[in-house]
Structure 1
């Protein structure tokens, strides 16, 4: 038996089911639209944001052949872990040579020290000889004065006076010669001190060179500068590397992860240093990360571009500018899941 409307029971049921689905869909759209509207009223929002971390290159400070590699692709490493080893034999030979040069200078200093002791002994002996010579001269001078008095009194002959005078002159000459030798001895002792000063200066130079060589030996062991994760391994055993060559990259895990969010200039009135922020990553849409604003750029992003726009050229088109804002994520809130470069959505409450 058919209904009075002339439609079958199946059509009525389909219509009723379709109306129910349409009503549910409309209700869902209204709820979703209401939620979005409520969020837009309460929060300022941007999806132009990315996770940022310090990614630094692994650089070799010396050149040489790689003898071993101690990490794999994307491996986690700790501060001080050995990443690469470079053949250090040549650097060790140079360091040993520099150390040998220092030992040679030390030996020369020891030789000069012995020479100085000998010269000082000779100097002291000359001083004693001078004291004895001065005593002889003084005694002979008194003898001469006595014979001179006797000669004046006609009690001594001229020959006796001449003999005494000649002896006095000999003693004076010997004293002068000893004093000259004493001056020369003092100069030789000073020369030894000057030579020791020159050698000490050379020793300082060689010590600095040796320390530099030992640094090169240490540079042959390339270690992780901090906790982090290395990127793709691009170096292999047996490769020749040059000083300053980039051997890979490491992501720093010691510093907090932050987000660089590019807010519109019209949203800046809602942003304040220390303001709390909610972050939702595209990779984890069901998880909310929290952080705070730690800095706001002093200029728009376009101002820092290589070719900033010049509105005076006559091609002015008003475009809402973006201002980079740095947001530091809270530690221990699952932020380790986020990787540098991931896209995130940032929301800031307007009531802060």
Structure 2
């Protein structure tokens, strides 16, 4: 019995010793972790409310129609000017042809008016010659009438002869007046035709603009990549009807690069400034540190840019620490930055010594 008791006592002492050592190691580790954490907190401002950002823009249609061909796949790299999809342009081509025919017709009417002006001008010139002849005839008849009037007054001519000469004079006057009126009418017609030409020129400009708009509509049926980028999720199919303004796809703009948006507490940004270096850890790449510099600080808190900004004067007030978005430019090699994807979570640390 005594031997067994001694054996149990040795086992208890051994367990107690091991437990003590383990507890001591844990306490030392916690102390080291606590001191390290306090040291880091004194040296760095840190936030894990940060994400990788890059411009993701929608591809929208400017016309209504059925999708006839799709030339991209999800997550495909595209270059600026690449054809992404084609919309059936049959209706728009017909509208373009109709506008082109109307423009051709209007231009033909201009030629008709110009021909009318030329013809009427020649008519007026011929009428001017007739006016000169009628004027000479009228002068001759007037002389004849004056001579017979003198003869009649001297009783050397009969009244019948005077009346015949008077009639001839009246006819000459009427002919002259008629030819002058014809000339005035020709000149007026020329002016009217020129006025019609001015109005038709304005109509031609309107039809040219209409044709240009129809040509634009035809060009809008071919949707191209606006810049180098990477396509997002594909949500449309061939044969699908799309409306003008409808979003058909999203493209990630790789030309503008990537950056980090870190949302620091308002109590952390007092000493931050543009150009200050930052260390970035991406959750997707543990153990790897990316480098960056502060590019800008938001002019307002994130809440102020929300759809419904808070109004503290409208009810009970509860003070909440606000966040200030800080934009950080990545300065790593392009190959390293290309590994990042928009929306990835990050942890950003900024040294207080550089404040």
| TM-score when normalising by structure 2 | 0.82
> Which residues of 2 match residues 81-160 of structure 1 at below 5 A?
81-145=82-146
State whether structure 2 residue 342 is matched by structure 1 residue 345: no
CA distance in structure 2 between the partners assigned to 1:15 and 1:31 by the alignment: 24
Alpha-carbon deviation of 1:194? 2.6
Specify the SS of the correspondent of 1:195. Answer: helix
The separation in 1 between residues aligned to 2:44 and 2:145, in whole angstroms, is 121
CA spacing shift, 1:81–1:22, aligned 2, 3 Å: farther
Q: C-alpha distance in 2, partners of 1:319/1:91?
A: 56
Per-residue displacement from partner, 1:137-160 (whole Å, max 9, x unpaired)?
334445555665666677777666
Distance 2:111 2:164 in 1: 51
Distance in 2 between residues matched to 1:275 and 1:149, nearest whole Å: 121
Question: Pairwise CA RMSD of aligned residues?
Answer: 3.6
Change (3 A) 1:205 1:57: same
2:172 — aligned with what?
171
TM-score by length of 1: 0.83
Question: What's the secondary structure of 2:269's corresponding residue?
Answer: helix
Partner of 1:268: 269
1:329 aligns with 2:325: no
For the residue of structure 1 that corresponds to 2:51, the secondary structure is strand
Written as runs of structure 1 = structure 2, the 5 A alignment for 1:1-352 is 36-145=37-146, 162-312=163-313, 315-330=316-331, 332-333=333-334, 334-350=336-352, 351-352=354-355
Cα deviation 1:197-239 (Å, max 9, x = unaligned): 3332322222222222221211111111111111112222222
In the alignment, structure 1 segments of 5+ residues that lack a partner are: 1-5
Q: Is the 8 A contact 1:53 1:252 kept in 2?
A: yes
Question: More deviation in 264-273 or 239-248?
Answer: 239-248
2: CA distance between counterparts of 1:112 and 1:312? Answer: 74
Mapped contact 1:292–1:327 kept (Cα < 8 A): yes
Contact kept in structure 1, 2:134 and 2:175, CA below 8 Å: yes
Q: Deviations over 1:278-335 (max 9, x none)?
A: 3222222343333333332232223344454454566433322111222333475432
Cα shift readout 1:251-303 (whole Å, capped 9, x = no counterpart)? 11122322221111111211223433332222223433333333322322233
- Mean CA deviation greater in 68-77 or 158-167: 158-167
Distance 1:169 1:243, change over 3 A: same
- Relative distance call for 1:158 and 1:23 in structure 2 (3 A) is same
User: Which residue pairs with 1:3 in the alignment?
Assistant: none
- 1:151-197: CA deviations, max 9, x gaps? 66777776665555443332222111111111111122222223223
Partners of 1:108 and 1:332 in 2: CA distance: 66
Alignment deviations for residues 46-69 of structure 1 (CA, whole Å, 9 cap, x no partner) = 211112222222222222222221
Partners of 1:129 and 1:313 lie apart in 2 by 94
CA spacing shift, 1:172–1:296, aligned 2, 3 Å = same
Distance between the aligned counterparts of 1:202 and 1:121, measured in 2? 28
Structure 2: gaps of 5 or more residues? 1-6
Question: Equivalent residue of 2:267, what SS?
Answer: helix
In the alignment, is the contact (CA less than 8 A) between 1:44 and 1:270 conserved in 2?
no
Q: Specify whether residues 262 and 168 from structure 1 end up closer, same or farther in structure 2 by C-alpha distance, changes over 3 A only.
A: same
Check 1:14–1:247 CA distance in 2 against 1; reply closer, same or farther (3 A cut): same
Aligned 8 A contact 2:290 2:332 in 1: no
**CA separation of 1:130/1:100 partners in 2, compared to 1, >3 Å: closer, same or farther?**
same
Does the Cα contact within 8 Å between 2:291 and 2:332 map onto a contact in 1? Answer: no
Give the 3 Å change call, closer, same or farther, for CA 276–129 of structure 1 in structure 2: farther
- Mean CA deviation greater in 183-192 or 155-164: 155-164
